[in-house]
Amino acid sequence: MENMPIGIIWLLAIIGVFFLCRELLCWYWKINKSIANQERIIELLDTLVKQGQVSIKSNQKTE
């Protein structure tokens, strides 16, 4: 029972380091910016479709 608080502290420290490293890698590889750009592109495409300037065509082949 005496080791339980130490174990919880270690677990929280490991989780904290994991999230810190994950955030740094996402920043370095510009993943967060890429996702934000893709979301903006989707919003703009939705606007164009609603205005009728672009039509959506299916690429599925029918046999």
Contact 37, 43 (CB under 8 A): no
Asked whether the beta carbons of 56 and 49 are under 8 A apart, the reply is yes
CB 51 within 8 A of CB 43: no
Tokens 């904290």 correspond to 16
Phi, psi of 21 (to 5 degrees): -65, -40
Residue 60's pLDDT is what? 64
* pLDDT at residue 5, as a whole number: 87
The series of mean pLDDT values per 10 residues for the chain, 63 residues long, is 82 96 92 94 93 76 60
DSSP-H helix ranges across 1-63: 4-28, 31-51
**pTM of the shown model:** 0.57
pLDDT for 10 equals: 94
